[in-house]
Amino acid sequence: MTTLATRGLRVAYDGRTVIDGLDLDLPDGGFTAIIGPNGCGKSTLLGALARTVAPVAGAVLLDGVPIRRLPSRALARRVALLPQQPIAPEGVTVRDLVTRGRYPHVGPFRPMSRADREAVDDALERTGVAELADRAVDTLSGGQRQRVWIALVLAQDTDVVLLDEPTTFLDIAHQYALLDMVAALQRSGRTVIAVLHDLTQAARVATHLVAMTHGAVVAAGTPESVLTAPTIAEVFGLRSVVVDDPVTGTPMVVPIPQATVPNGADPAPPRRSHAGEPIRSDQSVARP
């Protein structure tokens, strides 16, 4: 069991407070998707959870212990982070980069073991980049590089996995393949926390959503409880209708373009819920 939480967390850049007094509990063994508009503090929160961003007040707790007290190697054996725009050393091969995910588990007096090498091979296979193992990372496409970075995180083999916009650069097929893979990690017992922009994708894969705006949490809970039209309007300033995804039954957000709404008119024509009652754009579809 691994618990991750913040207490009174305050983060500031250049005298500007980005997150102020945040108390947040991340479900152990869950897949938490952090959603919100650009610049609302999502990536800052993820960085604070990984200790790559230092708070000016408050604490991040891992199993009740402030992470600032943990040695770096010990923290890296528990928490892995894929940042938004990672940079690989020039000329490094795919295998060499993924192997770096094992560094927290080895040391100057403990070379790579057979188990370490198998962990690297497994990560390469699971992300579909094994055939690229000897290629230089800087010769790959953006989507291929992203899968290599995911492989590094998998090789690190931590209890907690933090992902900042992991579907960046991926086409839609690889986006869903990657999210399915990450969801499988969560089902195997890991705690996954990811910043995601696509609300429908987030609802499909996450067990828990955290909606943020202006550095504060507006709503947290199941996808069904968070993805409501009023919350989406508050967080994103977007009018929408929330319906059931016809494939998964999870919430699917249908935006209403402002340009299609005449002045003074109802923002959307009446639609029907499962009960057959008309719904409006400021309501969520009733779920059975």
**pLDDT tens column, 168-214:** 878 898 899 889 989 988 998 899 999 999 999 999 999 999 999 99
Domain assignment of residue 15, yes or no: yes
Same domain for 211 and 236? no
Domain assignment of residue 231, yes or no: yes
pLDDT number for residue 239: 94
- CA proximity to 269, closest of 256, 259, 251, 258: 256
Same domain for 251 and 276? yes
Same domain for 4 and 27? yes
pLDDT number for residue 214: 92
Same domain for 212 and 226? no
- Cβ atoms of 218 and 212 closer than 8 Å: yes
- Cβ atoms of 150 and 130 closer than 8 Å: no
CA angle 110, 116, 121 (to 5 degrees): 155
Same domain for 38 and 63? yes
- CA proximity to 34, closest of 186, 226, 251: 226
Domain containing residue 49: CATH number: 3.40.50.300
What are the angstrom distances between the C-alpha of 26 and each of 7, 29, 158, 191, 216? 12, 9, 16, 9, 15
Average pLDDT over residues 95-105: 94
pLDDT number for residue 226: 97
Average pLDDT over residues 220-246: 95
Which structural domain, as residue segments, surrounds residue 199?
1-78+159-165+189-219
If one counts the domains in the chain, the total is 2
Domain assignment of residue 129, yes or no: no
Domain assignment of residue 202, yes or no: yes
pLDDT number for residue 284: 43
Same domain for 3 and 36? yes
Examine the pLDDT at 283 and tell me if it is beyond 70. no
For 65-97, how does the pLDDT look when each residue is reduced to its tens digit (9 = 90+)? Answer: 999 999 999 999 999 999 988 999 999 999 999
Examine the pLDDT at 275 and tell me if it is beyond 80. no
Same domain for 200 and 244? no
